Structure 1
Amino acid sequence: MIRSISQKDTTEITALLWVIFEDMELSLLNKIPKNKVLEMVGEAMADPTYRYGMNRGIVFEHNGEIAGVSFGYPAIDESVIDEPFKKVLIKNGYAENETLFVDKEAFPKEWYLDSIVVHKKYRGLGIGSILLKEMDHLAINAGYSTIGLNVDIGNPKAKKLYSSIGYKKVGEIVLSGHRYEHLNKPLMNTRMAN
């Protein structure tokens, strides 16, 4: 079942997000131990403006366990989404200029699908597709007509999935030293179309 995120979910969610952090080879991971990074991300999640703020994400729960999670935000928010994490870093004695993400990811005027991850034991069950559809609805409800995401050039399987549901390449971007294709798709307000 799809539901909103609550404070009790932070440990499970941060463990899922770690998969993304490792895939992106974020430089901060070489400076701060894993448990501390996850603890600080979990703490920052309480701030609604954070990239992984509870109000910016949804989970798919199966048998009381978080099987998948997705986060998104309007591109216009990108200038403030990492400020809560910076505050937590400073509070924990780390340098003010440290951050998990150093590059801008969203394209102008789009709702940006920041992250989607499904727990390894639940992959292949369609949970990712359900989360993607729900993110479309969140974007539409926020007044957006385009949703975008980045897919690693070295991940053709993911690109094939996104292409199959209407995403098209509109550019390329480098994030943490890795090349990504930026894909987006138009959103149709099905509520208005009916």
Structure 2
Amino acid sequence: MNYIIRKLKKSEYNLLEVFLYEAIFIPDGEICPPRTVIEQPELRVYIENFGQAKGDMALVAEINNKIVGAVWVRIMNDYGHIDDATPSFAISMYKEYRGFGIGTAMMKEMISLLSAEGYRQASLSVQKGNYAVKMYQKIGFTIIDENEQEYIMVVDLKN
């Protein structure tokens, strides 16, 4: 599958709402929440006023001029918050484009960007049942904490 990874343009920031919804992990057999779920404050923090704070960065994957996935980071008090110097990841792909390595490529590209910007680490939160846990571990994330439902994972960017 041919794709390109590029920076999200300012005129496309509204797409982060779509990909925020797509990022919600729905276990098999569970009903998808309504799209309005992204209006909850604990989810709005991922996209509200994106691009206005230091550390806001986003990449997208594009196939035949269609954006099919996004990865973005920002320093925020989210589920994966470590400290005020550590950007947190969010990533999602449209379902039909999952499993082709595109998400892994986007994550690696964002890790390179964060490292080049001088960040020491980045974090994320992931549901324990999410298949992406293994992908995160393969690209260098380690579990540093957990609760009943989620792992908090960190990747070292210093090397």
Q: TM-score, normalised by structure 1?
A: 0.60
| Counterpart secondary structure, 1:78 | coil
Q: For each residue in 1:12-37, what CA deviation from the matched residue of structure 2 results, as whole angstroms up to 9, or x when unmatched?
A: 4422221234749xxxx78xx73994
Q: Distance in 1 between matches of 2:26 and 2:12?
A: 22
2:152 corresponding residue in structure 1 = 182
The answer to whether the Cα contact below 8 Å between 1:149 and 1:184 also exists between their aligned partners in 2 is yes
- The structure-2 alpha-carbon separation of the partners of 1:111 and 1:137, relative to structure 1 and needing over 3 Å to count, comes to farther
Q: Give, as a single letter, the amino acid of the residue that structure 2 aligns with 1:9.
A: E
1:164, distance to aligned residue in structure 2 (A): 1.7
1:106 corresponds to: 81
Determine whether 1:3 maps to 2:6.
Answer: yes
Please name the residue that 1:162 is paired with. 136
For structure 2, the 5+ residue unaligned runs are 28-32
* Distance across 1 between alignment mates of 2:36 and 2:141: 33
Structure 1 residues 23 and 5: alpha-carbon distance in aligned structure 2, compared to 1, 3 A threshold:
same
Check whether the contact 1:148–1:183 (CA below 8 A) recurs between aligned residues.
yes
RMSD: 3.3
Tell me if structure 1 keeps the 8 A contact 2:51–2:57. no
Aligned AA (2:118): G
Asked if the contact 2:79/2:124 (under 8 Å) is kept, the reply is no
Q: 1:121: how far off?
A: 1.8
Question: How far apart are the structure 1 equivalents of 2:95 and 2:144?
Answer: 30
Deviation at 1:135, TM superposition (A): 1.2
Kindly provide the amino acid, as one letter, of the partner of residue 167 in structure 1: F
Matches of 1:35 and 1:168 in 2, distance apart? Answer: 29
Distance of aligned partners of 1:127 and 1:45 in 2 relative to their CA distance in 1, 3 Å threshold: farther
Which of 13, 17, 23 aligns to 1:14? It is 17
Unaligned 5+ segments in structure 1 are 80-102, 190-194
Using the alignment, how far apart are the partners of 2:57 and 2:143 within structure 1? 24
Between the aligned partners of 1:132 and 1:105, the Cα distance in structure 2 is 16
Looking at secondary structure, tell me which structure has more helix per residue: 1
- Cα separation, partners in 2 of 1:125 and 1:183, compared to 1, 3 Å: same
Alpha-carbon spacing, 1:62–1:132, altered in 2? closer, same or farther (3 Å): same
Structure-2 change in CA distance of 1:165 and 1:65 (3 Å): same
Cα gap change, 1:57 to 1:124, in 2 (>3 Å): same
Identity value in percent:
25
Aligned length: 145
Aligned mates of 2:36, 2:64 — CA distance in 1: 27
Q: Within 5 Å, which residues of 2 pair with 1:77-156?
A: 77-78=75-76, 104-108=79-83, 111-155=86-130
Contact 1:145 1:186 in 2 (8 A): yes
CA distance in 1, matches of 2:135, 2:37: 32
> Normalized against structure 2, the TM-score is what?
0.72
C-alpha displacement of 1:10: 4.2
Separation of aligned partners in 2, 1:17 and 1:152: 15
SS of match in other structure, 2:150: strand
Q: Deviation of residue 8 (structure 1)?
A: 4.0
